[in-house]
């Protein structure tokens, strides 16, 4: 299937033949239609040959440049190394040659650039060398020496400050000792017994007093109940200024998420602002009550939770819930449906690290990128106490997604509260704040939802997840009705399965004993970080978000192709120009595991990938991401059968759990990947991800699941890809380009159906 490719916007001959066959693409430059062209014979045999990334400079020239650059740091400029100069002056040995010194203009320009960017990359160094008439290595060595000089100066300044502070502390200590020796008891007037109490114990007593006051405040709030007016309760800590609005998921290289795109938010997210001072006491009350409800929801069984008909899932007894929790955020709105679920699992992550991931909006949305399309923190009401997230309160907004254009996203405005309980268990709870926010009616309300985290041996954690929402799901397409209404699309099972898979991925990224073709540890980390950005960009760009404006092309029902265009400008992670995204979702009478294995296998890629076009597909590198063999990051080479075409390199990540599977890929530049495999920064590698999102249709005899290879259920498959149709961001999209994309995706779908022996009429 084509991905990350360029369609000429004008005068492009049709690539679909009369008989529906796809012709060859010929030779183009840059990001071409469905492929990135490379020089032939760049990669031979079964090994990956790194390109020579160094300059054509002889060893003698490099030594000369280093000597010249070293001498340049000893000039009488602002960057002069005085100690080095004095050492040279005292050296009785004659110099072998005359060193070349930088001009004052060159030094001033590099000094100015250093203030903005002390660590320039290769591109910036080359640009500087071109402007100043220097060799790139001279620029590199100047910056290295300058950083060393600045570090030395900083350490000297720091040592001076520490000495002054030490003297001040000594003086304070002497003053305190004198005061304590003359202190008297206010009750009896006699000498005090301060000498029996250590200085540390004295501070601990002060800390205990402060914590006791904190507990008293929270207890007073908890004693009252939601719905009663509160006027004088202060917040747990002084409010912090709101964070900058970031509509992305994750943060890569300082760029907003969604693969670098900044979309316009929907009506709900646009209307939301930070809470007022008058709202904060009510928010605190609501959070405390929600925490109590979450604990009970996670720990209680019958009659609150009943077994489902298949005996696998727990079903909430709504009547019993209303009886036990009569207040909360109010009655269920008319027309809304209740989705409540609970799931427990043991994951391979330390409980403290897991809490940190959940309480950091960027890490949380990156961890759950298949579920969270956008998230931001509006205000932090409390950062917690004792140096951790115990007692932390955050007002947030998020948009939850299913990666398909046929299911609307769910926007939510809520408070997140984190608490460590007496038995050592941590709990993180969310609850909607719609009742205190004037604005458009929300289509989704989060009743107390979240998780309990218990410490387990060997760095594992036991997680009990409760997901309880009320939602207006009338916009869901009939194809996905059963999956959504069963709660498996957005329920606790999917959250826990995603968390478990991502924890395995993080563990494998840090492990040093996992066998892999890429033996360079830094190279493995860079490649996995690049694949992570690719997955985030794919998931956020395929859902029916309020930030997207999809246009339906065919109008035939479930197989409609949705398209939208986006402009990419000044985004180092995406090629500049007009990007066209196309997606379609359809049903297959094939179990999800079979579909996943078929799409991820390089041996069957020719059966559906139009770009392969009969070429030889070979996996060059493989990084395992978990226990399941399907969880991996791969580097694939496609050798074209047509000798006139160049080889193509593809980065692919496949991942699966019991609720969903993904196969996501993007053509990548061989020179850029060479840098990544050597541990370089992957944030500047341009990607246009394409791929597949696979969900069970819920009709399997063993319930909704991905792992039963012998189940009889079908699959819901979303096919999506992104194409660069014009490298000029201001260009107009031609109807011919849209028609070509429509034909390409239709051809890919038909190939998949035919290969899986399920041709439709």
For residue 264, pLDDT over 60 is answered with no
Model confidence band, residue 452 (pLDDT cutoffs 50, 70, 90): very high
Task: Please give the full DSSP string across 174-208, using - where no structure is assigned.
Answer: HHHHHHHHT-B-TTT-SB--GGGS-HHHHHHHHHH
Question: Residue 333's pLDDT is what?
Answer: 86
- Residues 261, 240, 379: CA angle, nearest 5 degrees: 50
Question: Residue 35's pLDDT is what?
Answer: 37
Long-range contacts for 502-511 (Cβ within 8 Å, ≥24 apart)?
502/367, 502/368, 503/347, 503/348, 503/349, 503/354, 504/348, 504/625, 504/626, 504/627, 504/631, 505/625, 505/626, 505/631, 505/655, 506/349, 507/348, 507/349, 508/623, 508/624, 508/625, 508/626
Q: From CA 727, how far away is CA 12, in angstroms rounded?
A: 15
Question: Residue 470's pLDDT is what?
Answer: 93
For residue 437, pLDDT over 70 is answered with no
Higher pLDDT, 626 or 661: 661
Structure tokens at 573: 């992670």
Beta-carbon-side half-sphere exposure of residue 270 (alpha carbons within 13 Å): 8
For residue 442, pLDDT over 90 is answered with no
Give tens-digit pLDDT for 401-434.
999 999 999 999 999 999 999 888 999 999 998 8
Give tens-digit pLDDT for 582-604.
899 999 999 999 999 999 998 88
Lowest mean pLDDT among 103-107, 200-204, 433-437, 514-518: 514-518
For residue 220, pLDDT over 90 is answered with no
For residue 647, pLDDT over 90 is answered with no
Question: Residue 641's pLDDT is what?
Answer: 61
Task: Please give the full DSSP string across 632-644, using - where no structure is assigned.
Answer: EEEEEEEE-SSTT
Q: In the chain, what percentage of residues exceed pLDDT 90?
A: 30
Give tens-digit pLDDT for 175-198.
777 777 666 555 555 555 544 455
Long-range contacts for 173-176 (Cβ within 8 Å, ≥24 apart)?
none
The SS3 assignment for 230 reads: coil
Higher pLDDT, 617 or 661: 661
Question: Residue 512's pLDDT is what?
Answer: 65
Q: From CA 364, how far away is CA 355, in angstroms rounded?
A: 10
Model confidence band, residue 449 (pLDDT cutoffs 50, 70, 90): very high
Higher pLDDT, 544 or 304: 304
Lowest mean pLDDT among 439-443, 558-562, 598-602: 439-443
Question: Residue 712's pLDDT is what?
Answer: 60
Question: Residue 63's pLDDT is what?
Answer: 44
For residue 166, pLDDT over 90 is answered with no
Question: Residue 42's pLDDT is what?
Answer: 36
Give tens-digit pLDDT for 496-552.
999 999 999 988 877 766 655 666 788 888 999 999 999 999 998 888 887 767 777
Q: From CA 127, how far away is CA 124, in angstroms rounded?
A: 5
Question: Residue 62's pLDDT is what?
Answer: 45
Model confidence band, residue 205 (pLDDT cutoffs 50, 70, 90): confident
Give Cα separations from 410 to 268, 356, 636, 759 (angstroms). 10, 24, 36, 34
Give tens-digit pLDDT for 717-735.
999 988 888 888 777 777 8
The mean pLDDT of the chain is 75
Question: Residue 463's pLDDT is what?
Answer: 97
For residue 252, pLDDT over 60 is answered with no
Model confidence band, residue 44 (pLDDT cutoffs 50, 70, 90): very low
Give tens-digit pLDDT for 57-91.
444 444 444 444 444 444 434 444 444 444 444 45
Question: Average pLDDT for residues 106-129, to the nearest whole number?
Answer: 88
Token pair 């100043």 is at which residue? 132
For residue 233, pLDDT over 50 is answered with no
Question: Residue 448's pLDDT is what?
Answer: 96
Model confidence band, residue 100 (pLDDT cutoffs 50, 70, 90): low
Question: Average pLDDT for residues 226-233, to the nearest whole number?
Answer: 36
Beta-carbon-side half-sphere exposure of residue 494 (alpha carbons within 13 Å): 25
Q: From CA 360, how far away is CA 63, in angstroms rounded?
A: 48
Q: Is this model's pTM higher than 0.85 or not?
A: no
Higher pLDDT, 263 or 429: 429
Question: Residue 88's pLDDT is what?
Answer: 43
Question: Average pLDDT for residues 191-208, to the nearest whole number?
Answer: 61
For the ranges 270-284, 447-461, 514-528, the maximum mean pLDDT occurs at 447-461
Question: Residue 258's pLDDT is what?
Answer: 29
Q: From CA 467, how far away is CA 469, in angstroms rounded?
A: 7
Q: In the chain, what percentage of residues exceed pLDDT 70?
A: 69
Higher pLDDT, 205 or 554: 205
Model confidence band, residue 39 (pLDDT cutoffs 50, 70, 90): very low
Token pair 């009969």 is at which residue? 614
Higher pLDDT, 754 or 556: 754
H helices present in 454-491, as ranges: 478-485
Question: Residue 302's pLDDT is what?
Answer: 86
Model confidence band, residue 352 (pLDDT cutoffs 50, 70, 90): very high
* Contact criterion met (CB below 8 Å) for 293 and 325: yes
Higher pLDDT, 466 or 523: 466
Give tens-digit pLDDT for 679-699.
888 988 888 999 999 999 876
Model confidence band, residue 328 (pLDDT cutoffs 50, 70, 90): confident
Question: Residue 516's pLDDT is what?
Answer: 54
Give tens-digit pLDDT for 606-646.
889 887 777 788 888 888 888 888 899 999 988 866 655 56
Structure tokens at 687: 């990607």
Beta partners for residue 380, in sequence order: 394
Token pair 């449906």 is at which residue? 337
Question: What is the four-CA torsion angle of 142, 145, 151, 153, rounded to 10 degrees?
Answer: -90
| Gyration radius (Cα) of the chain, Å | 31
- Is the preceding omega at residue 403 within 30 degrees of 0, hence cis? no
Higher pLDDT, 649 or 43: 649
* Contact criterion met (CB below 8 Å) for 328 and 289: yes
For residue 462, pLDDT over 70 is answered with yes
Question: Residue 118's pLDDT is what?
Answer: 87
Question: Residue 197's pLDDT is what?
Answer: 54
For residue 206, pLDDT over 80 is answered with no
């Amino acid at each position: 299937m084509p991905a990350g490719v360029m369609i000429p916007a004008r005068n492009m001959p049709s690539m679909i033949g009369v008989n529906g066959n796809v012709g060859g693409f010929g030779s183009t430059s840059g990001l071409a239609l469905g492929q990135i062209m490379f020089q032939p014979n760049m990669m031979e045999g079964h090994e990956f040959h790194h390109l020579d990334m160094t300059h054509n400079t002889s060893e003698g020239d490099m030594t000369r440049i280093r000597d010249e650059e070293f001498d340049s740091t000893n000039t009488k400029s602002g960057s002069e190394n005085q100690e080095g100069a004095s050492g040279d002056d005292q050296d009785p040995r004659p110099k072998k040659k005359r060193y070349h010194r930088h001009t004052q203009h060159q030094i001033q320009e590099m000094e100015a650039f250093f203030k903005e960017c002390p660590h320039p990359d290769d591109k910036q160094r080359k640009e500087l060398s071109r402007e100043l008439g220097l060799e790139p290595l001279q620029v590199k060595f100047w910056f290295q020496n300058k950083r060393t000089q600045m570090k030395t100066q900083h350490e000297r300044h720091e040592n001076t400050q520490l000495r002054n502070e030490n003297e001040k502390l000594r003086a304070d200590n002497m003053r305190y000792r004198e005061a304590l020796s003359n202190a008297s008891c206010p009750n009896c007037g006699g000498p005090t017994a301060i000498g029996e109490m250590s200085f540390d114990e004295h501070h601990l007593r002060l800390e205990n007093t402060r914590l006791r006051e904190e507990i008293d405040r929270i207890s007073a709030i908890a004693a009252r109940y939601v719905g009663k007016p509160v006027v004088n309760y202060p917040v747990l800590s002084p409010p912090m200024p709101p964070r900058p609005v970031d509509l992305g998921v994750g943060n890569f290289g300082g760029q907003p998420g969604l693969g670098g795109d900044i979309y316009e938010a929907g009506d709900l997210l646009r209307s939301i602002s930070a809470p007022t001072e008058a709202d904060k006491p009510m928010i605190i009350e609501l959070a405390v009550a929600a925490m109590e409800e979450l604990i009970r929801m996670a720990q209680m069984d019958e009659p609150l939770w009943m077994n489902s008909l298949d005996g696998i899932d727990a079903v909430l007894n709504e009547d019993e819930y209303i009886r036990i929790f009569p207040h909360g955020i109010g009655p269920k709105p008319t027309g809304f449906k209740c989705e409540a679920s609970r799931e427990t699992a043991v994951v391979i992550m330390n409980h403290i690290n897991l809490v940190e991931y959940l309480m950091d909006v960027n890490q949380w949305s990156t961890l759950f990128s298949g579920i969270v399309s956008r998230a931001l923190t509006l205000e932090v009401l409390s950062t917690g106490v004792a140096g951790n997230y115990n007692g932390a309160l955050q007002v947030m907004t998020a948009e939850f997604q299913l990666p398909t254009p046929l299911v609307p996203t769910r926007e939510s405005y809520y408070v997140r509260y984190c608490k460590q309980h007496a038995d050592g268990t941590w709990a993180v709870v969310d609850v909607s704040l719609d009742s205190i926010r004037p604005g458009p009616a929300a289509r989704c309300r989060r009743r107390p939802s979240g998780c309990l985290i218990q410490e387990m041996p060997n760095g594992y954690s036991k997680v009990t997840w409760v997901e309880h929402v009320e939602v207006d799901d009338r916009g869901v397409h009939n194809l996905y009705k059963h999956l959504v209404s069963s709660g498996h699309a957005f329920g606790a099972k999917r959250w826990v399965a995603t968390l478990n898979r991502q924890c395995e991925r993080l563990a494998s990224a840090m492990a040093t004993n996992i066998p892999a073709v890429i033996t360079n540890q830094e190279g493995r980390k860079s490649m996995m970080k690049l694949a992570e950005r690719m997955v985030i960009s794919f998931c956020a760009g395929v859902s029916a978000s309020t930030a997207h404006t999809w246009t339906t092309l065919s109008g035939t029902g479930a197989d409609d192709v949705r398209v939208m265009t986006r402009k990419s400008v000044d985004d180092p992670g995406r090629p500049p120009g007009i990007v066209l995204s196309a997606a379609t979702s359809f049903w297959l009478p094939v179990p999800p595991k079979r579909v996943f294995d078929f799409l991820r296998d390089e041996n069957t890629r020719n059966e559906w990938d139009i770009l392969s076009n009969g070429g030889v597909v070979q996996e060059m590198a493989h990084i395992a991401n978990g226990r399941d063999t399907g969880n991996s990051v791969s580097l694939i080479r496609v050798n074209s059968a047509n000798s006139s075409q160049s080889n193509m390199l593809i980065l692919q990540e496949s991942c699966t759990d019991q609720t969903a599977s993904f196969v996501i890929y993007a053509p990548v530049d061989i020179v850029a990947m060479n840098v990544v495999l050597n541990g370089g920064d992957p944030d500047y590698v341009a990607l246009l991800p394409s791929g597949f999102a696979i969900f069970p249709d819920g009709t399997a005899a063993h319930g909704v699941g991905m792992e039963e290879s012998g189940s009889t259920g079908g699959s819901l498959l979303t096919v999506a890809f992104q194409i660069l149709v014009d490298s000029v961001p201001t260009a107009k999209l031609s109807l011919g380009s849209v028609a070509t994309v429509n034909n390409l995706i239709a051809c890919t779908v038909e190939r998949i159906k035919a290969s899986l022996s399920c041709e439709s009429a």
